[in-house]
Amino acid sequence: MKIISYNVNGIRASINRGLLNWIAEVQPDVLCFQEIKATTDQIPLLEFDALGYIHHWFPAQKKGYSGVAILSRLQPDHVEFGMNIPKYDNEGRVLRADFGDLSVVSVYHPSGSSGDERQAFKMQWLDDFGNYVEKLREERPKLILSGDFNICHQPIDIHDPIRNATVSGFLPEEREWLNRFLNSGYIDTFRHLVKEPHNYSWWSYRANARANNKGWRIDYNMITENLLPQLRSAAIFSNAVHSDHCPVFVELDA
């Protein structure tokens, strides 16, 4: 099973940059989108039908904001929209699809970069999301959490850890949450297999950051530890340029 997580930063803009042709070339089995920034009436759904995908979309109530989706070759047994917490579900942040005993979650963690209020919202989200997946794992013990976590875990995951030490996305309390999360029974699939530095999944549009590879690794495919024997490969597709993020890939034995 080939799974890709991709923060497209606007599904319509990414389509205009060749996203559909790229999907047809790469042909993942499951594709998790974040930041679709569109309602379903604004998305060319027939184009995704033509690619052979069953697709589910969970937009935010606020137009042009947030939203997640899951596309799959196989029909899910069940699809769950949201966490049953209205303040998060109104922003379209979590979508789950079950395939047999395996569940794939497309998740878009909030950013705290706009100020103290949203940073506080982000920290509350992290606690609530952690509780949500802990309870979910009791019912669905085999989880793949694919999405934009908006946190760099370690200095190797960010181009300038010293200057960014007080910036949202690399704050000590965020990184400590990610430590606790991983220690609770999850595997960062990319870092488990790839130890080299300078592998990033997001770059600012400013100061030629992408051309100079001054990026952040904030997009992940996390798996529960019980799926580790099925982990085959992981990669970051930095040559895909439909967004300020790039796709992150994981392959598991089905």
- Taken in order of first residue, the domains within the chain and their CATH numbers are 2-252 (3.60.10.10)
Q: Looking at 77, 127, 128, 148, which residue is catalytic?
A: 148
* Spans in the chain with pLDDT lower than 50: none
What is the pLDDT, as a whole number, of residue 120?
98
Question: How many whole angstroms separate alpha carbon 22 and alpha carbon 14?
Answer: 10
What is the pLDDT, as a whole number, of residue 111?
96
Q: From the CB of residue 92, how many other CB atoms can be counted at a distance below 10 Å?
A: 27
Burial class of residue 254, CB neighbours in 10 A (0-12, 13-18, 19+): exposed
Question: How many whole angstroms separate alpha carbon 181 and alpha carbon 184?
Answer: 5
Q: From the CB of residue 68, how many other CB atoms can be counted at a distance below 10 Å?
A: 30
What is the pLDDT, as a whole number, of residue 254?
80
CA neighbor of 37 nearest in space, from 54, 14, 18, 53:
14
Residue with tokens 């309870």: 135
CA neighbor of 145 nearest in space, from 95, 198, 85:
95
Question: How many whole angstroms separate alpha carbon 169 and alpha carbon 159?
Answer: 13
Question: How many whole angstroms separate alpha carbon 238 and alpha carbon 11?
Answer: 18
Question: How many whole angstroms separate alpha carbon 147 and alpha carbon 111?
Answer: 13
Residue with tokens 């999944």: 201
- Is residue 128 part of the annotated active site? The answer reads no
Strands (E), 111-245: 142-148, 186-188, 202-203, 215-216, 219-224, 231-236
Q: Which secondary structure element, helix H or strand E, spans residue 16, and what is its range?
A: helix 11-16
Q: From the CB of residue 20, how many other CB atoms can be counted at a distance below 10 Å?
A: 17
* Long-range CB contacts (within 8 A, 24+) of 76-82: 81/56, 82/58
